[in-house]
Amino acid sequence: MKVMVCGGAGYIGSHTVVELIASGHAVVVVDSHANSSPKALERVERITGEKVENACVDVRDAAALAGVFSRHDFDAVIHFAALKSVGESWQKPLTYFDNNISGTIVLMQEMARAGVGKFVFSSSATVYGAPDFSPIPESAALRTASPYGRTKLIAEELIEELSHVDPGFKAAVLRYFNPVGAHQSGLIGEDPSGTPNNLMPYICQVAVGRRPYLQIFGNDYPTRDGTGVRDYVHVVDLARAHVRAVEHLGKGGETFTVNLGTGCGHSVLEVVAAFERVSGRQVPLSYAPRRAGDVAEYFASPELARRLLGWKAEYDLDRMCEDAWRWQSMSPDGYV
Ligand code: NAD
Ligand code: UD1
């Protein structure tokens, strides 16, 4: 298939481009580089041995997008292009609404004009808010806990509505749990700008000496060791799920929504222990109060993704830490 990958220079996008090419698909990346470096795609070219066409376009720019559609005959679009910081979305809600919701609408409009009907969308477990129980099935109640979460929920609703109204539009809505890790080569990985918000990049920066210690947000949760429990999933497993999803739509599959997680929860202390074990580095830590908006524990039911796509996460927590550490130690300052 020929696939437009919007946000393909970002963390999950770059890994997905590698897996699409490895599976024999043709790729064109569309990325404004609002939160990524073009160097990520040079690294993708080193890994795959193939040239990757990269259009530096904002998905809200209808005319520029139309230009890319006019130059290619796409079978599908994968849409990663969004702003993703929960904390920042409280400071700049309108920026998030515009980028994530307007961006998705403009992209779907240009797909319709170009006659492209297959769409894979990056959603998030954040649409479950504080879930009532785990493992979380896709049928669980949806609620949002931030302006960022709201953008994902609204985009999901628009996609679902469009697929009811337009028989030519078929979508895969993928709800990621906690993506971590990096490509085995160590050439691509997560490169947050500024202070990392998420656990694994923070641990990596402590281990490599960029930050003195990890703060653990809360050790009084009702979990096995008092720290928060999450469903960490290797980014390469996640990338492969996108290949399955786009191929499923390519074979005539109907619109669907699935969770992408391992089905296992790990606590913060378990992640730190695994990281120390595989890296041989100490991660100094201190305890801090709970972070606003955090929940004690959640993990996915990945059953539907297994049944529908034949997808199951292969890599365990040690492998996630090993690959995250290889990337961090090979590129201590990211894509500089
Ligand atoms: P990322 O920031 O690394 O990648 C997003 C990419 O989209 C970046 O390259 C950025 O430059 C680009 N982009 C942003 N706005 C754009 C626009 N208007 N036009 C063109 N390009 C634009 O983030 P990621 O971690 O790879 O996340 C990818 C997607 O997955 C996002 O939609 C995010 O909300 C979603 N998601 C991520 C996580 C996570 O923990 N990483 C979890 C759940 C869902
Ligand atoms: C966060 C977002 C969520 C988003 C997800 C993407 C919030 C409130 N939630 O989820 O919407 O979909 O990222 O992956 O921002 N932790 C520490 N110290 C740190 C960082 C994290 O103890 O420096 C703990 C957290 O309290 C949590 C766990 O580590 O228990 C994982 O945190 P994180 O990686 O930020 O992911 P989520 O909180 O699941």
Q: Which of 11, 98, 146 has the most ligand 1 atoms within 8 A of CB, as the residue to mutate?
A: 11
Least Cα distance to 60 among 8, 111, 107, 116 occurs for 107
Length of the chain as a residue count: 336
Contacts of 29 (CB under 8 A, 6+ apart): 5, 6, 8, 9, 13, 17, 41, 52, 53, 54, 55
Catalytic site includes residue 96: no
Q: Is the CB of 179 under 6 A from ligand 1?
A: yes
User: What pLDDT, on the 0 to 100 scale, is given for residue 214?
Assistant: 98
Q: Which of 198, 232, 298 has the most ligand 2 atoms within 8 A of CB, as the residue to mutate?
A: 198
**Which of the residues 96, 128, 148, 176 is marked catalytic?**
148
> What is the whole-number distance in angstroms between the Cα of residue 243 and the centre of ligand 2?
26
**Could you state, in order of their start, the residue ranges of all structural domains in the chain?**
2-184+231-262
Phi, psi of 207 (to 5 degrees): -60, -35
d(CA 70, CA 64): 10
Take atom 1 of ligand 2 and give the residue whose Cα is closest. Answer: 198
Which CATH number describes the domain made up of 2-184+231-262? 3.40.50.720
Q: Residue 253: is it exposed, middle or buried by C-beta count within 10 angstroms (0-12/13-18/19+)?
A: middle
**Cβ–Cβ < 8 Å for 16, 243:** yes
pLDDT tens-digit series, residues 68-91: 999 999 999 999 999 999 999 999
CA 245 to chain centre: 14
User: What pLDDT, on the 0 to 100 scale, is given for residue 74?
Assistant: 98
pTM, whole model, 2 decimals?
0.98
Phi, psi of 146 (to 5 degrees): -165, 160
Q: Scan for tokens 């949002």, then name that residue.
A: 144
User: What pLDDT, on the 0 to 100 scale, is given for residue 293?
Assistant: 86
Query: Which residues of the chain register pLDDT less than 70?
Result: none
Take atom 38 of ligand 2 and give the residue whose Cα is closest. Answer: 294
